[in-house]
Amino acid sequence: MVEDYLVGSVGQLMERARHLLAAISKPYPAEFRALAQTCRNQVNELIAGFEALLNNPRYRKPKLKALRLRAYTDLVNRLDFIESIGFAALVRINEEDKQMTRLVSDIAEELMFPLPAPVVSCQSHFSSYFHAFPGLNVLRVPLKEGHFLLHLPDLYHELAHFVIEEQNNPAVQAFQDAHAKATNAATGHLAALLSKPTRGPKTNQEKYLVWTVSWMRAWATELFCDLFGVLGAGPAYAWAHLHLCAKSGNDPFEVETSPDSTHPPDEARMFILLESLTRLNYGTLASEIESRWKELIAARNFKKNAEYELCFPKDVLKRFVEEAALGYRAMNCRCSSPNSGNKIHDLLNEAWAKFWKTPKQYADWESQNGVILPKR
Amino acid sequence: MSQIGIHAGGYLRVSDYARSVDRLLLDLQSGDTPDTETINPVLSLLGSVSDEKSAAPLVQLIKLQWREVSKEAVSRLPNIIAELKSGSPSEQTLSDLESLAAVLDKERVTMRLRLRGE
């Protein structure tokens, strides 16, 4: 069964891979050429992998059947990934994609970002919001995001995902080491709880284990990317976080107890942002953001709970703030400062200042002043 | 960042780890001597797994999951590394690497499902 199945399926997949190569066989603007080449190289590598799966005599040995099927699944998934991310970005390039790619490249330059700036594709789906795809160096944003300023600070957060996922590169090692150290502080705190003799229910132990997994799998990374965002974009990043939370309506103190959890509670995220802003000498603005944040939480009637306090103690969160600042500076990235002279940084912060100063006129101001892209 | 995006980086990395272990197993179980290009990525991964303090969070996660499946394999890590370096891995080491491959495959599948929003 396996042999016949693989012969039929792999043959079809190789044909699909060739179709993809044909679809991007055309000239590309300079900033998209690296992506086109990456896609070409990766698909050719996959075709070679498919051929080996059929023709390498070692795979015929019965004891290697499971290994062969794992290799097959891996190749299928990689082809699927590259088609839906890399090729999907390349076959639809429009003016917005080009301008957003340029914008992110300018942000990277302002930050002295240590890696090549990613390509931007304005095609994220309903639930996807902004998302980074390291490996292909692609960033997806919602269709019309480039026309508006208030969420653009989130682009700084996304850049950090490329830093965290970079491999074998000493230029970003300090930030990655800091990420590991901060994660250890969080999981170490839970390990201490786990090792305590307890008469409590067994479910507590299970919960601590799930939280440990969540810290390792996603929470620490998200917090570190937030800290990169605030160190680079300054107060505008914290405002953008408040904006996102106001729109989502999620309980900011809710600690998820599913291993599928991807995001730490919003209160923890805001806490580290405000701490970081204070250390960047934005104390007055940090107080203003905090006061509006508290107002928002009170208006929704959200309250701290014991689980939040247990899983996200302040000393652990402060350790994240310290480590991220050290790692960020060690990469020689530029820190946010008031009136930095960096055009995009200053524009994003000015946008938030205008938003609060004259909310009624903000939309008009944005359409006339801070616009990066030609209007809708 | 979106839920989908947070898994994209992890998925690619776990996928790389899984592939490198499988490539090594293919050589070893076929009776072939792996070259350095095949063996080094696995030694590097095992080295990171051994390094409790500075390992990347994702590697720590793999270690945690591997320990759940086979505490013995994780406690044999120094032997596994030494045997691979010496070029003559025992049957036990092969079996330990199989258990690591299964853990990596499971995590790869899990991340893949989340990446698809499933």
The DSSP code sequence of A10-72 is: HHHHHHHHHHHHHHT-S---HHHHHHHHHHHHHHHHHHHHHHHHHH-GGGGSGGGHHHHHHHH
For A178, the 3-state DSSP assignment is helix
Same domain? For A310 and A234 the reply is yes
Same domain? For A184 and A88 the reply is no
Q: Is A174 among the domain residues?
A: yes
Q: Which of A204-213, A233-242, B33-42, B78-87 has the lowest mean pLDDT?
A: A204-213
- Residue B1 in this model has a pLDDT that exceeds 50: no
Point out the residue among B1, B19, B56 whose CB comes nearest to the CB of A222: B1
Better-predicted residue by pLDDT, B83 or A3: B83
Sequence-ordered alpha helix ranges (H) in chain A: 2-23, 30-55, 65-82, 88-90, 95-111, 154-165, 173-195, 202-214, 220-233, 235-248, 266-279, 283-299, 306-311, 314-330, 343-357, 359-368
Q: What is the pLDDT of residue A182?
A: 97
Q: What's the rounded Cα separation, in Å, for the pair A188 and A142?
A: 37
> What pLDDT band is residue B9 in, cutting at 50, 70 and 90?
confident
The pLDDT of B31-45, averaged and rounded, is: 95
ipTM of the complex: 0.90
Q: What is the pLDDT of residue A152?
A: 95
- Partner-chain contact A213 B112, CB within 8 Å: no
Residue in A closest to B54 by C-alpha: A180
Last residue of a domain, one of A92, A107, A138: A92
Q: Is A173 among the domain residues?
A: yes
- Partner-chain contact A70 B22, CB within 8 Å: yes
> Residue B12: how many CB atoms within 10 A of its CB?
21
Per-block average pLDDT, block size 10, for chain A (376 residues)? 89 97 96 97 97 93 91 95 95 93 96 97 78 92 90 96 94 97 95 78 82 93 97 98 93 88 91 98 97 96 94 97 98 94 94 96 86 54
- What is the domain count for chain A? 2
Q: Return the half-sphere exposure (C-beta side, CA atoms, 13 A cut-off) of residue A125.
A: 10
Q: Is A126 among the domain residues?
A: no
Residue in B6, B53, B59, B110 to test binding to A, most A beta-carbons within 10 Å? B6
Same domain? For A199 and A76 the reply is no
Same domain? For A279 and A356 the reply is yes
Same domain? For A224 and A345 the reply is yes
Q: What is the pLDDT of residue B114?
A: 76
- Residue B3 in this model has a pLDDT that exceeds 60: no
Point out the residue among B13, B26, B61 whose CB comes nearest to the CB of A213: B61
Place of tokens 């679809």: A23
Residue in A closest to B29 by C-alpha: A64
Last residue of a domain, one of A92, A124, A142: A92
- Partner-chain contact B22 A71, CB within 8 Å: yes
Last residue of a domain, one of A70, A92, A114: A92
Q: Is A135 among the domain residues?
A: no
Which residues in chain B touch residue A177, judged by CB atoms under 8 angstroms apart? 54
| Average per-residue pLDDT for chain A | 93
Residue in B closest to A182 by C-alpha: B57
- Partner-chain contact A74 B15, CB within 8 Å: yes
Q: Is A121 among the domain residues?
A: no
- Kindly state whether A166 is in contact with chain B, defined as any CB-CB distance less than 8 angstroms: no
Same domain? For A88 and A217 the reply is no
Which residues in chain B touch residue A221, judged by CB atoms under 8 angstroms apart? 6, 9, 57
Residue in B closest to A176 by C-alpha: B56
Determine contact, residues B27/A182, Cβ cutoff 8 Å: no
The pLDDT of B5-29, averaged and rounded, is: 88
* pTM score: 0.92
Q: What is the pLDDT of residue A372?
A: 61
Q: Is A375 among the domain residues?
A: no
Same domain? For A81 and A156 the reply is no
Point out the residue among B30, B57, B64 whose CB comes nearest to the CB of A179: B57
Which residue range(s) make up the domain with A10?
2-92
Q: Is A112 among the domain residues?
A: no
Structural domain boundaries in chain B: 3-113
Q: What's the rounded Cα separation, in Å, for the pair A210 and A189?
A: 14
Point out the residue among B6, B58, B105 whose CB comes nearest to the CB of A222: B6
